[in-house]
């Protein structure tokens, strides 16, 4: 595992954008796994700047997002489809027909999950997967206790995740308590993984995930078993790791 320490979140964003830009330049038809949340916003901003500068094109890129809330229509401003359009897709030359977000409105969510993994496989697998990390160690919405062998599946969100994410909804009660998420096996199938982390709330869990025991109780710990993981984290997120002299 390669850990890149940055001073600030802005620096984390530009280093991560650089890694994705290199991937796109080397393989213009890359299949990218994308994440939502607060952590990647600036990184997407950097990718938009690189696109506007003519350094990269997304015209042949295919993307798969990690997750979506169950019951939120794509037009809902807290849906992850809306987030992706707003944060990235509306500003670049990607063909939206080549962008995938799990369908949280599907009637048969289990079947939708299986079909999503089939689509990833049919696209040739994910070349580079972006991840954030939840304060409880989740990656995508794979909450503590998730089977390492899981494919894309519906989940009940934990009180911790609901507490953190409900702040983005007009009223906390509006936040769905279930989601459709790529599974841990779906994520581990990516050829390369880039995990970004920023801020003090991630310091404890980042240390546990990267240096603690590999256990379903800390879903992100499974990344220790992946052959090509790059972690980019700012000073605040690396506080515990630095205190314990792990780097």
> Which residues make up the interface to ligand F6R (CB under 6 A)?
35-39, 66-67, 132-134, 138-141
User: Cα separations (Å) of 60 from 32, 63, 238?
Assistant: 11, 10, 35
- Is residue 87 within 8 A of residue 81, CB to CB? The reply is no
Find the catalytic residue in 143, 207, 234, 235: 143
Q: How far is the CB of 39 from ligand F6R (least distance, A)?
A: 3
Find the catalytic residue in 42, 46, 67, 112: 67
136 is catalytic: yes
67 is catalytic: yes
46 is catalytic: no
Q: How far is the CB of 97 from ligand F6R (least distance, A)?
A: 21
User: Cα separations (Å) of 166 from 47, 113, 132, 169, 200?
Assistant: 28, 24, 17, 5, 19
Cβ closest to ligand F6R, residue 119 vs residue 158: 158
138 is catalytic: yes
Q: How far apart are the first and last CA of the chain?
A: 11
Q: How far is the CB of 17 from ligand F6R (least distance, A)?
A: 15
Find the catalytic residue in 117, 138, 165, 234: 138
Residue whose C-beta lies closest to ligand F6R: 132
Q: How far is the CB of 242 from ligand F6R (least distance, A)?
A: 20
Cβ closest to ligand F6R, residue 35 vs residue 206: 35
Per-residue 3-state assignment (H helix, E strand, C coil) for 29-94: CCEEEECCCCCCHHHHHHHHHHHHCCCCCCCCCEEEECEEECCCCCCCCCCHHHHHHHHCHHHCCC
In sequence order, the β-bridge partners of residue 99 are 63
- Provide the annotated active-site residues: 67, 136, 138, 143
């Amino acid at each position: 595992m390669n850990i890149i320490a940055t001073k600030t979140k802005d620096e984390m964003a530009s280093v991560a954008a650089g890694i994705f830009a290199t991937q796109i330049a080397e393989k213009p038809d890359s299949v990218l796994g994308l994440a939502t949340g607060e952590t990647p916003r600036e990184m997407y901003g950097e990718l938009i700047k690189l696109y506007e500068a003519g350094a990269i094109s997304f015209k042949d890129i295919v993307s798969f997002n990690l997750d979506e809330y169950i019951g939120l229509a794509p037009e809902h401003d807290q849906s992850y489809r809306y987030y992706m359009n707003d944060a990235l897709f509306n500003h670049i030359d990607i063909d939206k027909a080549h962008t995938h977000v799990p369908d949280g409105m599907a009637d048969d969510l289990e079947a939708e999950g299986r079909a999503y993994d089939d689509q990833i496989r049919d696209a040739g697998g994910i070349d580079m997967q972006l991840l954030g990390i939840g304060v409880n160690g989740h990656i995508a919405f794979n909450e503590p206790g998730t089977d390492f062998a899981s494919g894309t599946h519906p989940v009940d969100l934990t009180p911790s995740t609901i507490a953190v994410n409900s702040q983005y909804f007009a009223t906390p009660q509006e936040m769905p308590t279930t989601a459709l998420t790529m599974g841990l096996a779906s994520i581990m199938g990516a050829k390369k993984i880039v995990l970004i982390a920023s801020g003090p709330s991630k310091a404890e869990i980042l240390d546990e995930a990267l240096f603690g025991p590999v256990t379903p109780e800390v879903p992100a710990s499974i990344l220790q078993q992946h052959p090509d993981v790059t972690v980019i984290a700012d000073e605040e997120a690396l506080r515990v790791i630095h205190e314990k002299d792990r780097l």
